[in-house]
Amino acid sequence: MLRLADMLDWINRAAGLSVRWLALAMVMLQFAIVLLRYVFGYSSIFLTEGVLYLHAAIFMIGAGYTLLVGGHVRVDIFYAKLSARGRAVVDVIGHLTLLMPGLLILLYWSWPTVRRSWAILEGPISVGGIPASFLLKTLIPVFCVLLLIQGLSALLRDLLRLNGDEA
């Protein structure tokens, strides 16, 4: 189980290490937009939507990696005081009752919209914008799959912890 969890972690680690470059691209693009607007008096909806696409990609693709490194917000009034085994119990319950069902529901209900968007190669959000809304909508199932993968990895590690193995 530990080997499988490590392989699942590798997927989100690769996604996280890749998506960090999008943050740099987003900052540079935003700087260019500001420079073009206030120095040259030029404004572009296409470039502005580029920042939106990059921002969405960073958060949606990076969510699994954030779970991997423990970066998601927790309300841990009691959680922090629990033993490793107690935290594993809480995490198993959370993964099985909240995380995974929620993501499966989101994946199920968003898939028809994404499929239709790809079928017509849905165009820009705004006139003059990036003619690829279907790519933006594709981030929803990508988000679900990457977070499900990381949730499964965390679940496997928690089950190992409950079994007495330190993962």
Question: Residue 103's pLDDT is what?
Answer: 98
Question: Residue 76's pLDDT is what?
Answer: 77
Please, what is the Cα angle at 136 between 104 and 67, to 5 degrees?
A: 50
Q: Which of 162, 147, 167 is nearest to 98 (CA)?
A: 147
Question: pLDDT digit of tens for each residue in the chain (167 aa)?
Answer: 889 999 999 999 999 999 999 999 999 999 999 999 999 999 999 999 999 999 999 999 999 999 999 888 777 788 888 888 998 999 999 999 999 999 999 999 999 999 999 999 999 989 999 999 999 999 999 999 999 999 999 999 999 999 887 64
Q: Which of 54, 26, 60, 49 is nearest to 138 (CA)?
A: 60
Q: Which of 14, 15, 48 is nearest to 31 (CA)?
A: 48
Question: Residue 97's pLDDT is what?
Answer: 96
Question: Residue 166's pLDDT is what?
Answer: 60
Query: Tokens in use for 20?
Result: 């960090």
Please give the C-alpha separations between residue 66 and each of 4, 69, 133, 156, in angstroms, as whole numbers.
Answer: 19, 5, 25, 17
CA distance 160 to 147: 20
pTM of the model: 0.89
CA distance 67 to 151: 8
